[in-house]
Amino acid sequence: MNTILAMELLNARQDIADLIEDKDFVFLDLETNGLSVSTEILEVGAIRCSGKTILDPEDALDSVEEFHHLVYFDGEPNWDALNVNKLDPEYLRCHGSQLEDVLRELVDFTRDTLVVGHNIISFDLPILDHHLQKHRLNLHYRGVADTKRLAKNSIHVPSYRLADLSSHFNLPVLPTHRAIDDVRATAHLFRQLMMI
């Protein structure tokens, strides 16, 4: 079963606002060894928090539950990708966790949440779904929202890259192409977009 087709895609702010207060949110990001659907996952980052936390502009988003794993990698490095995310293949080989273990934990971490990511529908979810299927696993969450799509529906700016949107809104956390930093930036961006 295709995870992406099995969930409700939430593209409008009002759709999300109607659900936000009584749901938990997980912000999710992957770092990979390339751009294809079958590329290796090298790092998974996520944070989980309540909708009330998201709606509270006084909350620094520091008291969230974090999920962060480097993934074991022993393949052929794609240096274009690794030069962006700065992940060291040798370090991943020595210190990374097995992907199946990471995915099993992620299934539990995201259960019954609304999942949010930047460009998640075009990039992260297809790759994640490919690897979940290989390990006969499924995510069980209530819906997904893509901050890139939400931004395109809300504002007109020259670029919708996460870094450019973070700068545009002068957010307190900037992305670094590392998974946990990027999910923190995405959470702040999502909050900003919901307040427009």
| CB contact at 8 A, 17 and 65 | no
Residue pointed to by tokens 């992907």: 99
Structure tokens at 1: 């079963």
Amino acid 56: pLDDT: 81
The dihedrals phi and psi of 88, each to the nearest 5 degrees, come to -95, 115
**Nearest residue to 27 (alpha-carbon basis) of 7, 49, 51, 46:** 46
Amino acid 26: pLDDT: 96
Amino acid 74: pLDDT: 95
pLDDT in tens, 130-161: 999 999 999 988 888 999 999 998 899 999 99
- Strands in the chain per DSSP E: 9-10, 24-32, 41-50, 65-70, 113-117, 143-146
Structure tokens at 165: 């949107």
Q: Which long-range contacts link 17-22 to residues 24+ away (Cβ below 8 Å)?
A: 17/194, 19/51, 19/114, 19/142, 19/143, 20/51, 20/54, 20/55, 20/114, 20/194, 21/51, 21/52, 21/55, 22/51
Domains of the chain are 9-195 (3.30.420.10)
Contacting residues for 36 by C-beta, under 8 A, at least 6 apart: none
Residue pointed to by tokens 């999710």: 28
Amino acid 13: pLDDT: 58
The dihedrals phi and psi of 26, each to the nearest 5 degrees, come to -120, 125
Amino acid 8: pLDDT: 46
Average pLDDT over residues 168-174: 94
For the full predicted model, state whether its pTM sits above 0.75.
yes
Average pLDDT over residues 89-112: 97
pLDDT band for position 174 (cuts 50, 70, 90): very high
pLDDT in tens, 23-54: 889 999 999 999 999 999 999 999 999 888 88
Average pLDDT over residues 84-101: 97
**Nearest residue to 187 (alpha-carbon basis) of 78, 90, 50, 77:** 50
Amino acid 1: pLDDT: 31
